[in-house]
Amino acid sequence: MTRPGGPLRGEALQTLAETLDVEATLARLPGLTRDGLRAILLDAAVAPADQPPARGARSVVVYTDGASRGNPGRSGAGVLITAEDGREIARHSRFLGQMTNNMAEYTALLIALKEARNAGADTITVKSDSELLVRQINGEYKVKNDALRIMHQSAMDLLRGFKRWKVTHVRREQNQEADLLANQALDRER
């Protein structure tokens, strides 16, 4: 797949909507894998309704975590959004269905970025305990997996919508609340 997201994303969604057939969609779009299609659908599913961001520019800190019981397996996402002073703005706990842990981590990031934008943030600091995600977003590691490449491109597009952004790695102990939210989503869907 040469350019994840973009036109391929639109073609995949259009074809799937017309056929309601995953196999027909994959057959019509050479280079699109099942995981790539899943990533496109997940990204579309976490897209917020078209609404303007809330008034008032502000800086936020978001903590994200994806959890997968099995790899791939049942997965959940947890997001905690705070003001710079630590005051909680929002929290999200979402069941994601079957996916890999890395896909769950990226989905949690996408949810966080969209929700922070909807909350009116113009500056964002993302804290994640996924070293792979952080290093890929910061350009230190290449993104080799097609599904993650689509999610990575979506995340980069969203990050460019902020005046300033930073994505940092934190130890698990510093990300406990997001981890709890991700696991609560899994526990609710037993």
Q: 88-102 burial by CB neighbour count: b if 16+ within 10 A, else e? A: ebebbbbebbebbbb
pLDDT of residue 165: 98
Which pLDDT does position 31 carry in this prediction?
A: 67
Phi, psi of 162 (to 5 degrees): -100, 150
pLDDT of 4: 43
CATH topology of domain 58-188: Nucleotidyltransferase; domain 5 (3.30.420)
User: Tell me, what's the pLDDT at 25?
Assistant: 78
pLDDT at 16: 67
Q: Provide the pLDDT for residue 47.
A: 56
Domain assignments of the chain as residue spans, ordered by start: 6-45, 58-188
Q: What was the pLDDT predicted at 46?
A: 62
Weakly modelled stretches of the chain, pLDDT under 70: 1-8, 10, 14, 16-19, 31, 45-57
pLDDT at 45: 65
**pTM > 0.85: yes or no:** no
